[in-house]
Amino acid sequence: MKTDINKLRELIRYHERKYYIDDQPEITDAAFDALMRQLEELEKASADDIPSDSPTQRVGGGVALGSRIPHRSPMLSLDNTFGKDELLDFGKRVQRILEDEPVEYVAELKIDGLGVSLLYENGVLVRGLTRGDGEFGEDVSGNLRTIRAVPLRLISTDDNPVPPVLEVRGEVFIPKHLLDDINVQREAAGESPFANPRNAAAGSVRTQNSNVTAKRPLDIFIYSLNYVEGLEVQTHTEALVKLKGFGFKCNPYTELQNSLEDVFIYYNQWVEKREEIPYEVDGIVVKVNDISQQRELGSTAKSPRWATSYKFPAHQTITTIEKIEVQVGRTGVLTPVAILKPVKLAGATITHATLHNEQEIRNKDIRIGDTIVLERAGDVIPKINDVLKEKRTGDEIVFQFPDVCPTCDTPVQRSETEVAVRCVNAGCSAQLKRRIAHYASRNSLEIEGLGPATVNQLVNNDLVQDVADLYTLKVEEVGKLERMGPGLTHNLLHQIEHSKQASAAKLLVGLSIFHVGETVAEVLMDHFLSIDALSQANAEAIEVIPGIGPQIAESVATFFAQNRPLIEKLKAVGLKCFTEEVVKTPQVLEDPFFSGKTFVVTGSLPDMTRTEASTQIKARGGKVTSSVTGKTDYLIAGEGAGSKYDKAVELGVEILTAEAFFEHLGEN
């Protein structure tokens, strides 16, 4: 009986490998499912414990988000090389340290996903960690186990016996073409879509519920053997052969190169062919093949000297503008948005691009019907790079910016000092919807399950007139909304209740005060320590804080003067930050890259709020301000970077993608 079960497990593992790793299934899905059912039956009937490496044990393992498990050796990031000259410079540095010994290089694809480490003891997967801050990772074992290309048990043969301890590292990713499917489902469930396959992979691995991960089409490529006991390998390519023998999935396009000239040819080939690969690749990685040479070269605090990455240029594509719509933001600002003929770009279907403001449309002479070049670099949202005026037929239409709010018909307000055009009707339902969605968002009070679709329903059914009304919603009221079953209702009300624990800075961000984002909110709370104290302050008292200018001070003071009843309502429903003091920013650990420099953070960063990013910068001795000026050293541009990005380009301020920022932090 025992041998039957074990044979069946082996057979299923074999077919899992054929399907998920070799991409050459030998049996039909139905036949595979039948084998699985048979195994489940046998395991149910057996008195023995089910081993953790049984193919039936993929879902249900533990995940400890927020845990800090030390990596055996730091998970470093890679230095970036830009252009052929820098690639050759990398080679010169290597040659200098190795005193002109012959060097072999390996070129591989840089997969744009989430770096993880997997630990095997006696061939059995015992732990999976995220990269975390490079020193410590989070235990996401239960989620990584659900990925069918992650072996729960390794293959051991006489020629290639599995070592007692083995740690590998690799990249978890979602195939590009499946991102749209996931986003359709997310939007139907009222959740915001993932902007790119990498965010989708990260979001799927960093979740508390392994059932969610199991439903996502995650895959993995193992790119290094990081630690092993009882096995000697001389080269990286030899290690990859061993790893494939143990049953790991390694990328098939890894190639040994004779010289950096050949690496450059490899790079150019993939610049041409990158769209053909079914997963997102953002460049190539070049590695010194010989392991003893790698050891001799060693690493800096952030990256190994024996490897570098060489990124591909930004993705570009051409499409046309079908219409221009005007959206009303949470502070009443009217933002024109180009509705595009849907087009694929960097693994996602793009249908919209912001046009920022009325002036931008005029300056660039953007017209409805125009053919445009859409570009997307790294994590930055797509932007219109160029208008192809030579493609005009004469049928293009000049856009008339509206004089009334498209939602409530109130005449718009134009100001002398700002490019923004506003709807000033405080009761405008479009604004209210945006304010509530913002209040619930990750950078604010983080109310899971309160996405745009649910907010629409709450406002359209008159259940909420302001954010404080969320806390007095009743089960019966929410339960009768469309698509809100008892489970979702319970969960939503639970999450709303839980949001009462949020910090004062988060609440301040959530209130949608003009000019108050995460950075300003932190600075204000660091100074005033409570919302009550801040709400009593006049503009002069706020303006004395370093980094807070008169515009912000005026905006904050005016907000509190006009919204006293809302603040009293929030206090009355029991938000914790009204009764607890703010904790000051922690002690500084100087870092030469950050120290003494001024940063601005804009857009949303994968896996990190802007507040966290600011805390990290400040903790390394950097300064964070809210607007881009001549004094700004770096702009960190996440998804959705808009006017600050343009300002930085205009002033020649260096722009860091989220990825480059994480590399400097030592977190990727």
- Give the count of beta carbons closer than 10 Å to the beta carbon of residue 595: 13
Nearer to ligand IVH, 199 or 431 (CB): 199
Q: Interface with ligand IVH includes 668 (CB under 6 A)?
A: yes
> Nearest distance from residue 137's CB to ligand IVH, in Å?
11
| H/E element, 226 | strand 219-229
Nearer to ligand IVH, 239 or 553 (CB): 239
CA atoms within 13 A on the CB side of 337: 17
Token duo for residue 559: 């907000």
Nearer to ligand IVH, 108 or 446 (CB): 108
> Nearest distance from residue 279's CB to ligand IVH, in Å?
11
Q: Interface with ligand IVH includes 196 (CB under 6 A)?
A: no
CB 78, CB 233: distance < 8 Å: no
Residues 6+ apart with CB under 8 A from 450: 436, 437, 440, 470, 492, 495, 496
Site string for ligand IVH, 163-192 (x = CB under 6 A): --------x---------------------
> CA 515 to CA 519: how far, in whole Å?
10
> Nearest distance from residue 381's CB to ligand IVH, in Å?
21
> Nearest distance from residue 663's CB to ligand IVH, in Å?
6
> Nearest distance from residue 77's CB to ligand IVH, in Å?
4
Q: Does residue 631 have an active-site annotation? A: no
Of 73-102, binders to ligand IVH (CB under 6 A) are: 76-78
Dihedral sign from CA coordinates of 28, 33, 34, 38: positive
Site string for ligand IVH, 117-136 (x = CB under 6 A): --------------x-----
324: three-class secondary structure by DSSP:
strand
Residues 6+ apart with CB under 8 A from 447: 439, 440, 470, 492, 495, 496, 498, 499
Token duo for residue 142: 């239960």
Query: Of 17, 58, 110, 315, which one interacts with ligand IVH (CB under 6 A)?
Result: 110
> Nearest distance from residue 597's CB to ligand IVH, in Å?
22
Catalytic-role residue among 110, 176, 302, 644 = 110
Of 300-329, binders to ligand IVH (CB under 6 A) are: 304, 307, 309
Nearer to ligand IVH, 306 or 559 (CB): 306
Q: How far apart are the first and last CA of the chain?
A: 47
- Give the count of beta carbons closer than 10 Å to the beta carbon of residue 273: 11
Q: How many residues does the chain have?
A: 668
- Nearest to 276, CA basis, from 180, 217, 344: 344
| H/E element, 225 | strand 219-229
- Nearest to 22, CA basis, from 117, 177, 151, 174: 151
Nearer to ligand IVH, 601 or 658 (CB): 658
Q: Interface with ligand IVH includes 115 (CB under 6 A)?
A: yes
Residues 6+ apart with CB under 8 A from 335: 326, 327, 329, 354, 355, 356, 357
Residues 6+ apart with CB under 8 A from 283: 110, 309, 310, 311, 312
Of 208-237, binders to ligand IVH (CB under 6 A) are: 223-224
- Give the count of beta carbons closer than 10 Å to the beta carbon of residue 315: 20
> CA 647 to CA 649: how far, in whole Å?
5
Nearer to ligand IVH, 196 or 319 (CB): 196
- Nearest to 84, CA basis, from 280, 274, 284: 284
Measured in degrees and rounded to the nearest 5, phi and psi for residue 417 equal -90, -20
Nearer to ligand IVH, 97 or 488 (CB): 97
Q: How many residues bind ligand IVH (CB under 6 A)?
A: 17
> Nearest distance from residue 131's CB to ligand IVH, in Å?
6
CB-nearest residue to ligand IVH = 115
Nearer to ligand IVH, 311 or 356 (CB): 311
CB 309, CB 80: distance < 8 Å: yes
> Nearest distance from residue 342's CB to ligand IVH, in Å?
29
Of 403-432, binders to ligand IVH (CB under 6 A) are: none
Nearer to ligand IVH, 171 or 358 (CB): 171
Measured in degrees and rounded to the nearest 5, phi and psi for residue 333 equal -70, 135
> Nearest distance from residue 229's CB to ligand IVH, in Å?
21
- Torsion angle defined by CA atoms of residues 631, 634, 636 and 641, in that order, rounded to the nearest 10 degrees: 50
CB 547, CB 625: distance < 8 Å: yes
Token duo for residue 635: 């702009």
Query: Of 8, 21, 94, 111, which one interacts with ligand IVH (CB under 6 A)?
Result: 111
Query: Of 53, 108, 280, 639, which one interacts with ligand IVH (CB under 6 A)?
Result: 108
Of 48-77, binders to ligand IVH (CB under 6 A) are: 76-77
Of 285-304, binders to ligand IVH (CB under 6 A) are: 285, 304
Write out the catalytic residue numbers: 110
Q: By the criterion CB under 6 A, which residues form the site for ligand IVH?
A: 76-78, 108, 110-111, 115, 131, 171, 223-224, 285, 304, 307, 309, 663, 668
